[in-house]
Amino acid sequence: MDFNEATRGTTTMNKVLSLSNLTTLAATLCLCLAGSQAMAKDWRGWNIHPPTYPNSIALENFVSLAAQLTDGEVTGEVYHNATLGNQADAISQMQLGSIDFANFNLGPLGTTVPAANVVSLPFIFKDIDHMHRVMDGEFGDKLSAAMAEEGIISLAWYDSGARSFYNSERAINTPSDVEGLKFRVMNNELFVGMVEALGGNASPMAFSEVYQSLKTGVVDGAENNWPSYESTNHYEVAQFYSDTGHLILPECVCVSKQVWDGLSAVNQESLQIAARASADLQRRLWAQRAAASRQAVLDAGIQFNTIADKAAFQNAMAPVYAAAIEETPVLEELINDIQSVE
Ligand code: BDP
Protein backbone atom coordinates (compact mmCIF):
# COMPACT_ATOMS: atom_id res chain seq x y z
CA MET A 1 0.00 0.00 0.00
CA ASP A 2 1.16 3.51 -0.84
CA PHE A 3 0.97 5.46 2.40
CA ASN A 4 0.77 8.84 0.63
CA GLU A 5 -2.08 7.71 -1.56
CA ALA A 6 -4.01 6.44 1.42
CA THR A 7 -3.81 9.80 3.21
CA ARG A 8 -4.56 11.90 0.14
CA GLY A 9 -8.33 11.02 -0.18
CA THR A 10 -10.87 13.89 -0.50
CA THR A 11 -14.32 12.31 -0.55
CA THR A 12 -15.84 10.89 2.61
CA MET A 13 -15.55 7.46 1.07
CA ASN A 14 -11.93 8.11 0.42
CA LYS A 15 -11.48 9.30 4.00
CA VAL A 16 -13.09 6.13 5.32
CA LEU A 17 -10.89 4.09 3.04
CA SER A 18 -7.86 6.09 4.11
CA LEU A 19 -8.73 5.55 7.75
CA SER A 20 -9.14 1.85 7.32
CA ASN A 21 -5.92 1.70 5.33
CA LEU A 22 -4.16 3.61 8.05
CA THR A 23 -5.53 1.23 10.64
CA THR A 24 -4.21 -1.67 8.57
CA LEU A 25 -0.90 0.11 8.20
CA ALA A 26 -0.70 0.74 11.93
CA ALA A 27 -1.59 -2.87 12.67
CA THR A 28 1.01 -4.06 10.20
CA LEU A 29 3.62 -1.78 11.72
CA CYS A 30 2.77 -3.06 15.18
CA LEU A 31 3.08 -6.64 14.03
CA CYS A 32 6.39 -5.93 12.33
CA LEU A 33 7.77 -4.22 15.40
CA ALA A 34 6.57 -7.02 17.63
CA GLY A 35 8.12 -9.45 15.18
CA SER A 36 11.49 -7.76 15.15
CA GLN A 37 11.43 -7.45 18.92
CA ALA A 38 10.65 -11.13 19.21
CA MET A 39 13.65 -11.80 17.00
CA ALA A 40 15.94 -9.68 19.13
CA LYS A 41 14.53 -10.87 22.45
CA ASP A 42 14.54 -14.13 24.29
CA TRP A 43 17.57 -15.70 22.73
CA ARG A 44 17.98 -19.39 23.33
CA GLY A 45 21.30 -20.33 24.82
CA TRP A 46 22.83 -23.81 24.72
CA ASN A 47 24.97 -25.10 27.56
CA ILE A 48 26.13 -28.64 28.26
CA HIS A 49 26.86 -28.24 31.99
CA PRO A 50 24.71 -28.17 35.14
CA PRO A 51 23.71 -24.72 36.48
CA THR A 52 26.38 -24.56 39.21
CA TYR A 53 29.32 -25.22 36.83
CA PRO A 54 31.67 -22.22 36.26
CA ASN A 55 30.75 -22.03 32.55
CA SER A 56 27.04 -22.03 33.37
CA ILE A 57 27.36 -19.21 35.89
CA ALA A 58 29.49 -17.21 33.43
CA LEU A 59 27.08 -17.78 30.53
CA GLU A 60 24.18 -16.58 32.71
CA ASN A 61 26.32 -13.56 33.48
CA PHE A 62 26.82 -12.96 29.74
CA VAL A 63 23.05 -12.87 29.16
CA SER A 64 22.30 -10.56 32.04
CA LEU A 65 25.11 -8.18 31.06
CA ALA A 66 23.91 -8.28 27.46
CA ALA A 67 20.41 -7.30 28.60
CA GLN A 68 21.78 -4.43 30.70
CA LEU A 69 24.15 -3.09 28.07
CA THR A 70 21.62 -3.27 25.21
CA ASP A 71 18.86 -1.70 27.35
CA GLY A 72 16.82 -4.85 27.11
CA GLU A 73 17.07 -5.21 23.34
CA VAL A 74 18.87 -8.53 23.74
CA THR A 75 17.56 -10.84 26.41
CA GLY A 76 17.78 -14.58 26.57
CA GLU A 77 17.71 -17.76 28.54
CA VAL A 78 20.40 -20.35 29.09
CA TYR A 79 19.23 -23.97 28.75
CA HIS A 80 21.61 -26.01 30.89
CA ASN A 81 22.47 -29.73 30.88
CA ALA A 82 22.32 -29.99 27.06
CA THR A 83 18.52 -29.92 27.17
CA LEU A 84 18.58 -28.41 23.65
CA GLY A 85 20.57 -31.40 22.31
CA ASN A 86 24.16 -32.61 22.17
CA GLN A 87 26.94 -30.31 20.99
CA ALA A 88 26.97 -31.59 17.40
CA ASP A 89 23.23 -30.84 17.04
CA ALA A 90 23.62 -27.52 18.82
CA ILE A 91 26.31 -26.40 16.37
CA SER A 92 23.99 -27.15 13.42
CA GLN A 93 21.14 -25.38 15.18
CA MET A 94 23.32 -22.34 15.69
CA GLN A 95 24.20 -22.32 12.01
CA LEU A 96 20.49 -22.37 11.20
CA GLY A 97 19.74 -19.69 13.81
CA SER A 98 17.50 -21.76 16.08
CA ILE A 99 20.08 -21.58 18.87
CA ASP A 100 21.24 -17.99 19.37
CA PHE A 101 24.19 -18.34 21.71
CA ALA A 102 26.22 -21.05 23.37
CA ASN A 103 29.34 -22.11 25.19
CA PHE A 104 31.00 -24.58 22.81
CA ASN A 105 34.11 -26.64 23.33
CA LEU A 106 36.43 -26.19 20.36
CA GLY A 107 37.21 -29.93 20.25
CA PRO A 108 33.99 -31.16 18.62
CA LEU A 109 33.73 -27.85 16.72
CA GLY A 110 36.61 -28.98 14.50
CA THR A 111 34.25 -31.19 12.49
CA THR A 112 32.42 -28.01 11.38
CA VAL A 113 35.39 -25.64 11.25
CA PRO A 114 38.43 -27.70 10.19
CA ALA A 115 40.87 -24.88 11.08
CA ALA A 116 39.71 -25.21 14.71
CA ASN A 117 41.29 -28.67 14.79
CA VAL A 118 44.61 -26.99 15.47
CA VAL A 119 43.68 -26.50 19.15
CA SER A 120 42.69 -30.17 19.36
CA LEU A 121 46.19 -31.33 18.52
CA PRO A 122 47.50 -32.98 21.69
CA PHE A 123 50.16 -30.98 23.57
CA ILE A 124 49.84 -28.01 21.16
CA PHE A 125 49.79 -25.55 24.08
CA LYS A 126 52.63 -25.43 26.61
CA ASP A 127 50.24 -24.79 29.47
CA ILE A 128 47.00 -22.96 30.26
CA ASP A 129 48.63 -19.52 30.39
CA HIS A 130 50.12 -20.14 26.96
CA MET A 131 46.65 -21.04 25.67
CA HIS A 132 45.34 -17.74 27.05
CA ARG A 133 48.13 -15.74 25.41
CA VAL A 134 47.50 -17.44 22.08
CA MET A 135 43.72 -17.22 22.12
CA ASP A 136 43.55 -13.66 23.42
CA GLY A 137 45.92 -12.48 20.69
CA GLU A 138 45.96 -12.40 16.89
CA PHE A 139 45.57 -16.14 16.59
CA GLY A 140 42.22 -16.00 18.41
CA ASP A 141 41.00 -13.42 15.89
CA LYS A 142 42.14 -15.60 13.00
CA LEU A 143 40.26 -18.57 14.40
CA SER A 144 37.17 -16.41 15.02
CA ALA A 145 37.25 -15.40 11.35
CA ALA A 146 37.28 -19.07 10.29
CA MET A 147 34.37 -19.79 12.64
CA ALA A 148 32.39 -16.80 11.32
CA GLU A 149 32.60 -18.29 7.82
CA GLU A 150 30.62 -21.23 9.18
CA GLY A 151 28.00 -19.02 10.82
CA ILE A 152 29.43 -19.03 14.35
CA ILE A 153 30.56 -15.73 15.88
CA SER A 154 33.02 -16.26 18.71
CA LEU A 155 33.10 -13.38 21.17
CA ALA A 156 35.42 -14.60 23.92
CA TRP A 157 37.26 -17.68 25.12
CA TYR A 158 36.56 -19.73 28.22
CA ASP A 159 38.89 -22.15 29.99
CA SER A 160 38.47 -25.87 30.22
CA GLY A 161 41.71 -26.68 31.96
CA ALA A 162 43.78 -29.66 30.86
CA ARG A 163 42.23 -33.00 29.99
CA SER A 164 43.77 -36.22 31.29
CA PHE A 165 42.92 -39.91 30.88
CA TYR A 166 41.02 -41.84 33.53
CA ASN A 167 39.86 -45.43 33.54
CA SER A 168 38.63 -48.26 35.72
CA GLU A 169 41.58 -50.64 35.15
CA ARG A 170 44.99 -49.20 35.96
CA ALA A 171 47.21 -46.16 36.33
CA ILE A 172 48.67 -44.89 33.06
CA ASN A 173 52.34 -44.04 33.26
CA THR A 174 53.51 -44.81 29.73
CA PRO A 175 51.71 -45.17 26.40
CA SER A 176 51.92 -48.96 26.74
CA ASP A 177 49.52 -48.73 29.71
CA VAL A 178 46.88 -47.45 27.27
CA GLU A 179 47.11 -50.57 25.12
CA GLY A 180 43.95 -52.61 25.01
CA LEU A 181 41.84 -50.06 26.86
CA LYS A 182 38.77 -48.49 25.29
CA PHE A 183 38.24 -44.78 25.84
CA ARG A 184 35.31 -42.52 25.16
CA VAL A 185 36.36 -39.46 23.20
CA MET A 186 34.47 -36.35 22.11
CA ASN A 187 32.96 -36.36 18.63
CA ASN A 188 35.91 -35.69 16.36
CA GLU A 189 37.94 -38.30 14.45
CA LEU A 190 41.10 -36.51 15.51
CA PHE A 191 40.54 -37.77 19.06
CA VAL A 192 40.06 -41.33 17.80
CA GLY A 193 43.47 -41.04 16.12
CA MET A 194 44.93 -39.67 19.36
CA VAL A 195 43.90 -42.73 21.40
CA GLU A 196 44.87 -45.17 18.63
CA ALA A 197 48.32 -43.57 18.42
CA LEU A 198 48.76 -44.61 22.05
CA GLY A 199 47.65 -48.17 21.30
CA GLY A 200 44.14 -47.89 22.72
CA ASN A 201 40.66 -48.03 21.19
CA ALA A 202 38.36 -45.04 21.03
CA SER A 203 34.64 -44.57 20.91
CA PRO A 204 33.24 -41.10 20.10
CA MET A 205 30.19 -40.47 22.26
CA ALA A 206 28.01 -37.66 23.61
CA PHE A 207 29.00 -36.32 27.04
CA SER A 208 25.69 -37.35 28.59
CA GLU A 209 26.20 -41.03 27.71
CA VAL A 210 29.63 -41.47 29.25
CA TYR A 211 28.67 -42.22 32.86
CA GLN A 212 26.44 -45.14 31.90
CA SER A 213 28.99 -46.44 29.40
CA LEU A 214 31.71 -46.42 32.04
CA LYS A 215 29.43 -48.06 34.54
CA THR A 216 28.36 -50.87 32.24
CA GLY A 217 31.85 -51.39 30.81
CA VAL A 218 31.01 -50.27 27.26
CA VAL A 219 34.20 -48.22 27.67
CA ASP A 220 37.00 -48.57 30.21
CA GLY A 221 37.75 -44.91 30.48
CA ALA A 222 37.45 -41.39 29.19
CA GLU A 223 39.42 -38.16 29.41
CA ASN A 224 38.49 -34.84 30.92
CA ASN A 225 39.48 -32.03 33.28
CA TRP A 226 38.98 -32.11 37.07
CA PRO A 227 35.67 -30.20 37.18
CA SER A 228 33.95 -32.44 34.59
CA TYR A 229 35.44 -35.63 36.06
CA GLU A 230 33.77 -34.58 39.29
CA SER A 231 30.50 -32.99 38.05
CA THR A 232 29.60 -36.05 35.95
CA ASN A 233 30.46 -38.48 38.77
CA HIS A 234 32.79 -40.33 36.40
CA TYR A 235 35.21 -40.57 39.30
CA GLU A 236 32.83 -43.03 40.95
CA VAL A 237 33.15 -45.51 38.08
CA ALA A 238 36.66 -44.81 36.73
CA GLN A 239 38.96 -44.26 39.68
CA PHE A 240 42.42 -44.19 38.04
CA TYR A 241 43.12 -40.60 36.99
CA SER A 242 46.50 -40.16 35.28
CA ASP A 243 47.88 -36.70 34.77
CA THR A 244 48.55 -36.82 31.01
CA GLY A 245 47.21 -33.28 30.47
CA HIS A 246 47.25 -34.02 26.73
CA LEU A 247 44.59 -31.51 25.67
CA ILE A 248 44.18 -27.89 26.69
CA LEU A 249 41.04 -26.94 24.84
CA PRO A 250 39.63 -23.45 24.71
CA GLU A 251 35.88 -22.99 24.68
CA CYS A 252 33.94 -20.10 23.18
CA VAL A 253 31.09 -17.79 23.99
CA CYS A 254 29.48 -17.98 20.58
CA VAL A 255 26.54 -16.23 18.91
CA SER A 256 24.73 -17.34 15.77
CA LYS A 257 25.71 -15.24 12.74
CA GLN A 258 22.03 -15.30 11.81
CA VAL A 259 21.13 -13.11 14.79
CA TRP A 260 24.46 -11.29 15.00
CA ASP A 261 24.09 -9.79 11.53
CA GLY A 262 20.70 -8.35 12.52
CA LEU A 263 22.13 -6.41 15.48
CA SER A 264 23.09 -2.73 15.40
CA ALA A 265 26.82 -1.99 15.61
CA VAL A 266 26.23 -0.57 19.10
CA ASN A 267 24.54 -3.75 20.29
CA GLN A 268 27.28 -5.88 18.74
CA GLU A 269 29.83 -3.87 20.70
CA SER A 270 27.79 -4.33 23.89
CA LEU A 271 27.67 -8.09 23.38
CA GLN A 272 31.39 -8.16 22.79
CA ILE A 273 31.94 -6.36 26.10
CA ALA A 274 29.49 -8.69 27.88
CA ALA A 275 31.27 -11.77 26.51
CA ARG A 276 34.71 -10.57 27.56
CA ALA A 277 33.47 -9.79 31.08
CA SER A 278 31.83 -13.21 31.18
CA ALA A 279 35.11 -14.87 30.14
CA ASP A 280 37.01 -13.02 32.89
CA LEU A 281 34.50 -14.32 35.40
CA GLN A 282 34.60 -17.86 33.96
CA ARG A 283 38.39 -18.03 34.17
CA ARG A 284 38.36 -16.92 37.81
CA LEU A 285 35.60 -19.35 38.73
CA TRP A 286 37.34 -22.06 36.72
CA ALA A 287 40.60 -21.79 38.65
CA GLN A 288 38.74 -22.08 41.96
CA ARG A 289 36.56 -24.96 40.80
CA ALA A 290 39.46 -26.91 39.28
CA ALA A 291 41.25 -26.88 42.65
CA ALA A 292 38.07 -27.71 44.58
CA SER A 293 37.08 -30.56 42.24
CA ARG A 294 40.56 -32.05 42.36
CA GLN A 295 40.46 -32.03 46.15
CA ALA A 296 36.93 -33.45 46.24
CA VAL A 297 37.75 -36.48 44.08
CA LEU A 298 41.02 -37.10 45.90
CA ASP A 299 39.05 -37.04 49.17
CA ALA A 300 36.59 -39.48 47.62
CA GLY A 301 39.50 -41.91 47.18
CA ILE A 302 40.44 -41.86 43.49
CA GLN A 303 43.89 -43.16 42.51
CA PHE A 304 45.82 -40.22 41.07
CA ASN A 305 49.22 -40.48 39.44
CA THR A 306 51.48 -37.82 37.96
CA ILE A 307 53.61 -38.67 34.94
CA ALA A 308 57.23 -37.74 35.39
CA ASP A 309 58.11 -37.73 31.70
CA LYS A 310 55.43 -36.93 29.19
CA ALA A 311 57.82 -37.08 26.22
CA ALA A 312 56.74 -40.60 25.23
CA PHE A 313 53.11 -39.43 24.98
CA GLN A 314 54.10 -36.33 23.02
CA ASN A 315 56.30 -38.28 20.61
CA ALA A 316 53.50 -40.75 19.96
CA MET A 317 51.41 -37.87 18.59
CA ALA A 318 53.53 -37.33 15.45
CA PRO A 319 51.15 -39.37 13.22
CA VAL A 320 48.15 -37.48 14.63
CA TYR A 321 49.72 -34.17 13.58
CA ALA A 322 50.69 -35.57 10.17
CA ALA A 323 47.19 -36.93 9.47
CA ALA A 324 45.54 -33.67 10.55
CA ILE A 325 47.82 -31.58 8.31
CA GLU A 326 47.24 -33.90 5.40
CA GLU A 327 43.51 -33.49 5.76
CA THR A 328 43.58 -29.73 6.43
CA PRO A 329 46.80 -28.21 5.05
CA VAL A 330 46.19 -24.79 6.64
CA LEU A 331 46.87 -26.44 10.01
CA GLU A 332 50.59 -26.31 9.30
CA GLU A 333 50.51 -22.50 9.28
CA LEU A 334 48.22 -22.41 12.34
CA ILE A 335 50.53 -24.74 14.28
CA ASN A 336 53.38 -22.33 13.54
CA ASP A 337 51.23 -19.41 14.67
CA ILE A 338 50.63 -21.09 18.03
CA GLN A 339 54.19 -22.25 18.49
CA SER A 340 55.56 -18.79 17.75
CA VAL A 341 53.68 -17.29 20.71
CA GLU A 342 55.96 -17.40 23.75
C1 BDP B 1 33.90 -30.77 29.24
C2 BDP B 1 33.68 -29.59 28.32
C3 BDP B 1 32.47 -29.82 27.46
C4 BDP B 1 32.60 -31.11 26.72
C5 BDP B 1 32.85 -32.24 27.70
C6 BDP B 1 32.98 -33.58 27.01
O7 BDP B 1 33.53 -28.40 29.05
O8 BDP B 1 32.30 -28.76 26.55
O9 BDP B 1 31.46 -31.40 25.97
O10 BDP B 1 33.99 -31.96 28.46
O11 BDP B 1 33.90 -34.33 27.34
O12 BDP B 1 35.10 -30.58 29.93
O13 BDP B 1 32.16 -33.88 26.13
Mean pLDDT in residue range 169-191: 98
Q: Which of helix, strand or coil describes residue 31?
A: helix
pLDDT in tens, 256-300: 999 999 999 999 999 999 999 999 999 999 999 999 999 999 999
Query: Does residue 1 surpass a pLDDT of 90?
Result: no
Query: Does residue 15 surpass a pLDDT of 50?
Result: no
Residue nearest to atom 9 of ligand 1 (CA): 207
Residue 25 CA, chain-centre distance (Å), reads 44
Please give the pLDDT value at position 152. Answer: 98
| 282 ligand 1 Cβ < 6 A | no
| 205 ligand 1 Cβ < 6 A | no
Look up the pTM and report it.
Answer: 0.88
Neighbouring-strand partners of residue 44: 77
Burial of 117 (0-12, 13-18, 19+ CB in 10 A): buried
Domains of the chain: 41-160+249-289 (3.40.190.170), 162-248+304-328 (3.40.190.170)
Residue nearest to atom 5 of ligand 1 (CA): 207
| Ligand 1 closest atom vs CA 224 | 12
**d(Cα 238, Cα 102) in Å, to the nearest integer?**
29
Strand ordering across the sheet containing 43-46: 76-79, 43-46, 101-105, 251-256, 152-158
Query: Does residue 3 surpass a pLDDT of 60?
Result: no
Tell which one of 104, 111, 157, 186 to mutate to probe ligand 1, the residue whose CB is within 8 A of the most ligand atoms: 186
| Ligand 1 closest atom vs CA 206 | 13
Mean pLDDT in residue range 309-333: 97
Please give the pLDDT value at position 41. Answer: 60
For 24, other C-beta atoms within 10 Å of its C-beta total 12
Give the distance (Å) from ligand 1 centre to CA of residue 213.
16
| Ligand 1 closest atom vs CA 55 | 7
Confidence label for 22 from pLDDT (cuts 50, 70 and 90)? very low
Please give the pLDDT value at position 338. Answer: 98
